[in-house]
Chain A
Amino acid sequence: MTKLSQLAVSLATAFSLLLAGCATTTVKTTDITPLDYQSREVAEHELLDIGVLLFDPGIDEVLADKNSVTLPEIRKAESRYIPYTLTETLQKNGSWGAVRVIPKESTIVDVYIKGKILHSDGERLKLQITVQDAPGYQWFTRDYEEMASTYSYDDKKHKQLDPFQGIYNRIANDLLAYREKLSEQKLKNIRTVSELKFASSFSEMAFAEYMTQDKSGNYHVVRLPPDNDPLLLRVKSIRERDYLFVDTLQDYYSSFALEMEKPYREWRKMTYYDVVSLRELRREARNRLIAGAAMVIAGVAASGGGDGATRAAGHVGVLGGAYMIKSGLDKRAESQIHQEALQELGGSFEAEVEPQVIELEDRTVTLTGTVDNQYDQWRNILYDIYTTETGGVPSNIQ
């Protein structure tokens, strides 16, 4: 019994010391996934326009997580910043047509990218990306995660790059890989459906007959309108103006991203160190608490031993365990300080970025509303033209 008790105490002590002294090894890498480029030159009629929708900020998860280092307004800002950064990356590889951030899905483009921010701080970025084309077919849905390294925030080495540039490159590469598997006919079909959807949205009477929709909601082209159809030409003119509108929105998001870039980078940098420290402190606190509890239990068990040495070892174990527990609680308190520092940083950044988000939203909503009104007027005019040309009384003539 005495020997067993001694053995138990020894093992418990060794385990506790091992646990308390464990250090994790974090692999830091400066490698960023490179951006792939098209293997062949893309013909103009094969270029697809991409619309990146504003990301879902995941505010519900932020509010539910008590240990979250971010705040709702920061997430709202990121839900605009991250899509814009993605559009810039997609434009770089020259494999696509116009790549723009769009505020809502009613803006008709060839390919849609939807996203949700699952986690975002200075150290880690996790996104869920869904890609879908105009006919309604889903290309893929994937989660992307990227860990930043300290070198990502080294201004001398990576001044121009986003700390999470690798995640954007991987998304762009996956898109390109999928696109390269599509035949020329399919690419053409995507563009045609996109054009007919736009035409239908302005003159359903004239263009709805050219497409059908199956049970899954996917569009199929039945036949094509003549190229010289006057109404189609008018709709194409309207689409040119729609491109102008989308480009103007892109200017808004670009301006917003430029304005937000510096404070956002600083916030990420500060949160990076605090997040890493916080994680380390929490881990140490947990380990020490566990180790201390184990030592206390072993020491109590040994205190009841037969000989004096065992009892002495038991007393030492209890004292040592108590010290470990205290140390663990101190670490936890220290981690709380880091937590509060992160929240303070978040509050400071939120106060800085919130007016910009509000201004961006305000201008976007105002412009979108004005444009929607104008589109309604154009719909009325096209309706009048169509009924006049095919027979019927126009609604108004001035």
Chain B
Amino acid sequence: MVNLKAMLRVAPIVAAVLLFSACKTIPSSSSSESGSSSSSSSGGSASSLPSGSSSGMPSSGGYKPGQAGLPGQPGRQSGETAKKGDASAKQNSSAQSSGKSGNSSGDGSEDKTLSDALEEFERARQRGNAGSGDGSSQQGEYSVAVEETDFPLVLPPSGDAGVDLERQEGSEGGAESVGSAQTEGEKVAVLDRQLEESYGQFEGMILRERGYVRDKENARGSNAVIDAGGVVGEEQGVSGSEGSGSSEGGVDVEAGGPITGSGAGSRPEGGDQREGDYQQAAITHKPPPDIPDGSDDDVVARQLREAAMNESDAELREKLWDEYRKYKSKSKSK
């Protein structure tokens, strides 16, 4: 009698829980083909469930090997699922790092409710058993019932894609190799993209450094004008009185700037330039008529153009333009 009372008290709770979990399972089974990444581990668990059993099924959609995918596209889906499994392996691991069964958070709360109900049932049964000695047969019944109840299989959080792939049937083996070949190519493409992006960053850094040097040269050109007491230099093309004026680079001359050189005296500076490629004030020579405007120049072509325009020696300038033409024609042929 006492046992019966305990059972009657607990049974509605258990029934309610079972009913609730059964209701959640029915909508999730229809979305299982979506192959959402968060449930890749729970998808694996579904393989151990008997067909039609809804108890203990994960609440969210998951990959089920028994339901390989849309008719006629089993391999593609498995490949895609594997890819998604690969790509989101890290996401899975972070989501499942709590050490729970690997289900989503929604599933976790349901499991908790179920386990609480079962605990309560066990306690009631034990209280009942303590009151009578006839509960063994009923224990056996309920223990069997408990054993028959399917709980979600706990899978490790990572390596799900490999686990899923292993459970595939043989007919999907060919499709699997095609999927991994595409994966390798995609991996190389990802790496190539990384490489290209880093090229851009590198070139940006180089351009910044060159800009710094150019600004420094402009500033020095301005100071040289001050040193000369504002004497105009032909090469610089600057005009102005002492302490005023501006350089070709557009930098304003600061009055009282640092004096460069020692013992220069009053000899006219006017741009004391070295021979060679680098000139203090960039005297640019117009490009020949057959040279395009350079809007589509890459870094190398731009360098060649700048070197040619800044070269004072006519022969070397022509050689540089020839190099520019050769490089542009090679780039176009590629």
Contacts and interface: CB of A to CB of B under 8 A. Distances in A.
Interface of A: 44, 88, 91-92, 94, 155, 159-160, 234, 237, 240-241, 243-245, 247-248, 251-252, 254-255, 257-259, 261-263, 266-267, 270, 348-349, 352, 363, 367, 370-371, 374, 377-378, 381, 384-385, 388-389, 394, 397-398
Interface string B185-196: 001101110110
Contacts of B11: none
A352 to B, nearest CB: 7
Given A88-B274, A240-B299, A266 B188 contact: no
A371 B316 CA distance: 31
A248 B278 CA distance: 12
A378 B199 CA distance: 9
Nearest to A161: B275
A94 B299 contact: no
Contacts of B216: 255
A258 B202 contact: no
B280 A388 contact: no
B277 A91 contact: yes
Contacts of B16: none
Interface in B15-40: none
15 contacts: A44-B326, A159-B272, A234-B192, A244-B299, A248-B209, A251-B209, A262-B272, A263-B261, A263-B262, A363-B209, A371-B202, A374-B202, A377-B198, A394-B187, A398-B190
B303 interface: yes
A388 B188 contact: yes
Give the one of B199, B206, B216 with max A CB within 10 A: B206
A385 to B, nearest CB: 5
Nearest to B212: A363
A374 B198 contact: yes
Contacts of B187: 388, 394, 397
Nearest to A243: B300
Contact of B199 (A237, A245, A352): A237
Interface of B: 184, 187-188, 190-192, 194-195, 198-199, 201-203, 205-206, 209-210, 213, 216-217, 220, 260-264, 267, 272-278, 280, 299-300, 303, 316, 319, 326
Secondary structure at the B interface, as helix, strand, loop or mixed, is helix
Given A88-B274, A91-B277, A258-B217, A349 B191 contact: no
Given A262-B260, A394-B191, A241 B202 contact: yes
Contacts of A247: 303
Contact of B205 (A160, A370, A378): A370
Tell me the dominant secondary structure on chain A's binding face.
helix
Contacts of A394: 187, 191
B209 A381 contact: no
Given A244-B206, A245-B206, A259-B220, A91 B319 contact: no
A258 B206 contact: no
Contacts of B192: 234, 385
Given A244-B203, A266-B263, A92 B276 contact: yes
A394 B190 CA distance: 12
Contacts of A363: 209
A255 B184 contact: no
Given A248-B213, A352-B262, A381-B198, 14 more contacts: A91-B276, A160-B274, A160-B275, A237-B195, A241-B202, A244-B202, A248-B206, A251-B209, A258-B274, A262-B264, A266-B262, A349-B262, A363-B209, A385-B192
A228 B273 CA distance: 45
Contacts of B276: 88, 91-92
A243 B203 CA distance: 11
A309 B210 CA distance: 85
B199 A241 contact: yes
Nearest to B299: A244
A371 B263 CA distance: 40
A128 B188 CA distance: 49
Contacts of A251: 209-210, 213, 278
